[in-house]
Structure 1
Amino acid sequence: CRRLEGEAARAVLGAADTLLFDCDGVLWRGEAALGGAAAALCRLAAAGKRLCYVTNNSGRTRQAYCDKLRRLGFPPAEPRHVFGSAHCAARFLRQALPPGAAAYVLGGPALAAELREAGAVETAAEREAFIVGKPNRYMFDCVASEFDIDPARTIMVGDRLDTDILMGNTCGLTTLLTLTGVTTLEEVKGHEESDCPARQSLVPDYYVDSIADLLPALED
């Protein structure tokens, strides 16, 4: 794992078609955008990069995320570019259950709204849990089925090793950790120095202090 800066940053970003962003701790905290994050994403969008948003937060619908992105100054996004755990759960049920089947919703209004959109109604079932959010690759599979995505030309940007980075590494993406969230560089180094394969799978390819660190590499 090394800092992404200078010519290396230009090369890595230049080789990417798609960037997947976690949101909380990466783009914003609460209702405030992190410094430079909106400017960096606007430049990425202007450079023709596809920007998608992948989050385990089921408390907002896809449209609510689009509204928040716009409100905080990020590039305009359509709901199809947002992949939350609520939407992915609805998508999974639509694929796994026959038409007209029912689902018992344990969650908030946003999750219920996504499931209603998928045509689900209430019932109960005794099944082994299937995790649709990060780090399960199912969330990336949802993105890949929506867009023509080449994993080798995709960057996963996140602040958590055990969700964002692990999913990215599992799916063969380039992984970029931002230190504006819950992870410290000391944690990364600890995993990197470990002989345990499970811990090594949590190590990102690159890190930045914040998304704003990408701005110099995006200058014309």
Structure 2
Amino acid sequence: MAGAMRRHGCRRLLGTHLKDLLYTKHCVLFDCDGVIWNDEKAVVGAPEVVSLLKKHGKSVFFVTNNCTRPRDSYLHKFSRLGFSEIVQSDVLSSAYCSAVYLRDVAKVQDKVYVIGCDGVYTELHEAGVPVVGKEPDVPGATIYDCPLDSDVKAVLVGYDDKLNFLKLAKACCYLQDPDCLFLATDRDPWHPRPRGRVSPGTGSLVAALETAAGRKATVIGKPSRFMFECIASQFGVDPAHTVMVGDRLETDILFGWNCGVDTVLTLTGVSTLEQAQGYRDSPAPEEAACVPNYVVDTVADFLPALNEERKENPAN
């Protein structure tokens, strides 16, 4: 399969080929950042693409590793940027899926120590998962004298722009217990910021804690399969009739490979066509999984095929 992907990956998706692909797919998974919006600006044509897909009866889901906001906040952003008919069940963030994992898979009834932002805390709270970690530390407290909660049986690491040494040290102490679960929302190493700047991602925080604790985290978000399993279990989605559209090779495209779905790389975000072609031509077998089946400049490239199908089927 790897060889086939190398020979046929990175195929430009235009015209009839794009129309044929959309005809065979009943479910479309989109990443958000870099795919349908960049910061506070929708990618041109993205709201129309999502609307037309839904009008054509396609199931549309948004799978994002961005754990900084809860799902209801995502709904406000979708509305603010011109996307209509988006409901909460369409959105699966790594924060939400981490809460689902802790509640339904791990069935954690004790407390979870969280390194993360409000999006993680909100989703855990709404799932009924008891958490600690948001409480302000006593001024001047150190790992030598700060209190630790004996009821903590899991550590969850997400994006945290207020990370400090004491938070890492507390998590490391909890993880000395081999029965304490160690979870991460995602492994994204960095995130693009305006004016060409970047910020460390959750993956960099997880790597620090893995080094300190001598343990590996179970990752909930992409490229792990769990986000797709959440969709498949609730909505009966078939991988053979699903396509993943993303902008990051090592996250979105690898996620599609892991889930057995076709993948489309859009060039409005992190990864470039040259990087995708480099993976395709690389002799390293592990890089084959990061090669997209197809490439588009932008999700707006879907519009001609969707509009053509609408003309042929005016009842849609």
TM-score range, shorter chain: over 0.9
Q: Deviations over 1:160-200 (max 9, x none)?
A: 00000001011110100000001111111111111211111
What secondary structure is seen at the aligned counterpart in 1 of 2:304?
helix
Does the 8 Å contact 1:2/1:207 carry over to 2? yes
- Report the CA distance shift for 1:96/1:49 in structure 2 as closer, same or farther (over 3 A): closer
Q: Distance in 1 between matches of 2:92 and 2:42?
A: 19
Aligned length: 220
> 2:206 — aligned with what?
none
Amino acid at match of 1:55: T
Aligned to 1:110: 119
The CA deviation at 1:40 is: 1.3
Listed as ranges, the matches of 1:56-205 within 5 Å are 56-98=65-107, 100-122=109-131, 123-125=152-154, 126=175, 127=181, 128-205=216-293
Q: Deviations over 1:130-185 (max 9, x none)?
A: 10010011111111112110000001000000000001011110100000001111
Q: Is the 8 A contact 1:69 1:76 kept in 2?
A: no
Structure 2 runs not aligned, ≥5 long = 1-9, 132-151, 155-174, 176-180, 182-215, 312-316
Aligned to 2:55: 46
CA separation in 2, counterparts of 1:109 and 1:188?
34
Which amino acid is the alignment partner of residue 133 of structure 1? G
AA partner of residue 217 (structure 2): A
Q: Distance in 2 between matches of 1:184 and 1:99?
A: 40
C-alpha displacement at 1:56, in angstroms?
0.4
User: Per chain length, whose mean CA-contact separation is higher, i.e. which structure has more relative contact order (CA < 8 Å, sep 6+)?
Assistant: 1
CA contact (8 A) 2:102 2:108 kept: no
* Equivalent residue number for residue 206 of structure 1: 294
Normalising by structure 2, we get a TM-score of 0.67
* 1:101 to partner: Cα distance: 2.3
Structure 1 unpaired stretches of 5+:
none
Cα distance in 2 for residues equivalent to 1:101 and 1:17: 40
CA separation of 1:193/1:121 partners in 2, compared to 1, >3 Å: closer, same or farther?
same
Query: CA offset at residue 99 of structure 1?
Result: 6.2
Q: Could you tell me which amino acid in structure 2 is paired with residue 156 of structure 1?
A: M
- Of 121-130 and 200-209, more deviation after overlay is shown by 121-130
CA distance in 1, matches of 2:269, 2:230: 25
Q: Distance in 1 between matches of 2:261 and 2:243?
A: 6
**Alignment root-mean-square deviation, CA:** 1.3
After TM superposition, give the deviation of residue 98 of structure 1 in Å: 4.0
Residue range with higher mean Cα deviation, 98-107 or 7-16? 98-107
Separation in 2 of the partners of 1:42 and 1:95? 32
Tell me how far 1:124 sits from its aligned partner: 4.7
Map of 2:26 onto structure 1? 17
Residue type matched to 2:126 in 1? E
CA distance in 2, matches of 1:17, 1:35: 23
Rg larger for: 2
Q: 1 CA distance for matches of 2:226 and 2:60?
A: 18
Question: How big is each residue's C-alpha offset from its partner over 1:27-54, in whole Å with a ceiling of 9 and x where there is no partner?
Answer: 0111110111111111111111111000
CA distance, structure 2, for counterparts of residue 11 and residue 75 of structure 1:
26
Q: TM-score, normalised on structure 1?
A: 0.96
